[in-house]
Amino acid sequence: MAQFNEVLKEKYQVLLKKLSELKNINEYNFTFSKILIFREYQSRLYDWKVTAGYDGHDFFNKRNDYHNLFLDINPTWLDELIDEKQIVQDLNDLGLDFIRSGFREFSGFFMYLYINWEIFKDRDEVKIHGNLLNPYEMIYHLFCRGGRIYRSDNKFVINEITYLKYDNDFKLPSTDDRFLDFIDKLSNSFPNQEKVNQLWEQFNKLEVRC
C-alpha cells in the first residue's frame, strides 16, 4: 500500500469495518439462493468480459486471471490495488478466519477483487461502463448469506456442493434477502430461470398485499 493515498486508505478502512460484520454470520449450510447468487455473479462477469473484448471462448475457465477484470480494463492505476495477501491478513485480524488464499481457496482472491473494485469503481476506466452491473457485489452478497467458495478438481464448490452449471444468461431479479429467503423456503429442487421468475412474481404479489 505504499502508493495508497489518504483518501483510498480511508475507503479501505471503511470497507474493513463493513466486512468485519461477516464474522457474526454462521449460515454455512447449503441453500439454493447461494448458487443463484453465484450464477448472477457469472452473468455479470461475462457481460464485462464481452464488453472488454472477450470472445466467449472457454467460458468455463476458472483460472484467477479470468475473474480479474482489472486485467481486462488494464488501468494505469493497476499497481495501486491493495495486495491480496494484505487483505487476507487484515480480514483475518478482524476475526474473519474463513477468508483464505491458496490453490483451493477462492475467498481471499474474491475479497481482493471486491474490495479493490469498491475502492476504484469511480475511476474513469470503470465508470465508462456504467451500464454494466458490479459483478463482485455478488460475492459480498454470497458471503453475507454464509456462502463459501472453494475449488476442487477444477470445479467450484459452494458450501460443499460442487457447482457444475454455467449459464451466462441467468438473471437474478433481486438480491433482497427477503426474496432470497422466499426462494429457499419454496424450493425443493434447484430453480431454473423460469422458476426464479415465477417466484419473483409471487414474492411481489405478497409484498403488495402486505
Q: What is the pLDDT of residues 105-120, one digit of tens each?
A: 889 999 999 999 999 9
pLDDT of residue 54: 79
pLDDT of residue 37: 94
pLDDT of residue 24: 83
Residue ranges of the chain with per-residue pLDDT less than 50: 1-2
pLDDT of residue 164: 61
Residue 160 backbone zone (phi > 0: left; psi -120 to 50: alpha; other: beta)? left
Cell 409471487 sits at which residue?
Answer: 202
pLDDT of residue 158: 86
State the Rg of the chain over Cα. Answer: 17
Cell 481482493 sits at which residue?
Answer: 112
Q: How many CB atoms lie within 10 A of CB 172?
A: 22
Q: How many CB atoms lie within 10 A of CB 89?
A: 14
pLDDT of residue 157: 83
